[in-house]
Amino acid sequence: MKERTPKRRRTSELPPPLPPETRTIGQLVAETIRFYGKHFWRSLLLGVGPAAVTVAGYFTGFHPALAAVVVGWIVLASASYVGACVLVGGGARPPARIVLRALAAACLVALPILAGLLWLAPLGLAVPAIVNERVPLRKAFRRGLELARADYVHALGSLATLLLVVFLTQVLLTALLHGASQQSVHVSAFLASLVLQPLLFLGAALLYDDQAARVKIESASRNRRRPDADLSHADDVDRPGSADAPIAS
């Protein structure tokens, strides 16, 4: 009687992630979700403040007090963004002065946020630049522009995709929670915002790694293209000594 050989189970493994310098918009979103799942509870805390302000906006409606809600959202969302940069950085916790400087930069970036992502894409990178590089406030905005110019389409497209994914999923989850559990729309909106808004902050923080890697590659490429880089002066007929090119032994 022949013995049955056990069948090998097919194991499907995900392909390794691309390095930051070649990471696509889709993979940035996927890496954001993966990072969120790996650090779920700490990432979830990033959504508490913005979610609370979202519910406050529902209660306030179109009322003069809505201005205070907007200011509260700017401050709390900025704090969540700084927290995401620290969490993604993974290093030692920055000093308090660095955190306050990054918070000030985030608030300044968020002030004209209604102008759209065209403003947020380049200058929003100033916040992780402060957290990771410890640069002064004014220099951080110049660094943010430099990071964005490395691949502006990638920066703008990544933020737009993250915002679209979070917004649409949040609307859908709010409707599902409200319909399935019979919770009030305010509670449903709070829970949906709490769970989903951290993705936006974490993705924007991860975008810094992509753009910084692209800047390094662009800088190295420029150095290699310099006409005077590591070249001899064989064509300089006026230099002292023999005009013959040196011969390697």
Most confident of 65-69, 101-105, 244-248: 101-105
Give the ranges where the chain is alpha helix by DSSP (H): 25-38, 40-44, 48-60, 66-89, 96-110, 117-123, 126-133, 137-150, 152-180, 185-225
> If you ran DSSP here, which 8-state letter would residue 46 be given?
G
DSSP reduced 3-state for 238: coil
What are the structural domain ranges in the chain?
27-218
3 state DSSP class of 50: helix
Between residues 127 and 7, the one the model is more confident about = 127
Residue with tokens 């380049």: 122
The pLDDT tens digits for 185-228 are 778 888 888 999 899 899 999 999 999 999 998 888 877 766 55
The mean-pLDDT minimum among 34-38, 69-73, 184-188, 201-205 falls in 184-188
What backbone torsions phi and psi does residue 13 show, to the nearest 5 degrees? Answer: -110, 145
SS3 8: coil
What is the C-alpha to C-alpha distance for residues 66 and 85, in angstroms, rounded to an integer?
28
The distance between the two most distant Cα atoms of the chain, rounded to a whole number of Å, is: 93
| Model confidence pLDDT, tens digit, residues 76-104 | 989 999 999 999 988 678 899 999 999 99
Is the model's pLDDT at 242 over the cut of 70?
no
Question: Residue with structure tokens 């990071």?
Answer: 147
In this structure, what token pair is assigned to residue 120? Answer: 């947020």
pLDDT value at position 61? 67
Give the end-to-end CA distance of the chain in Å, rounded to a whole number: 74
Burial class (CB in 10 A: 0-12, 13-18, 19+), 155: buried
Residue 13, classed as helix, strand or coil, is coil
Distance, in Å, from the CA atom of 195 to the CA atom of 192, rounded to the nearest integer, reads: 5
The per-residue pLDDT for 34 is 92
Average pLDDT over residues 42-59: 86
Q: What is the DSSP letter of 85?
A: H
Task: Answer for the pair 101, 219: CB distance below 8 angstroms, yes or no.
Answer: no
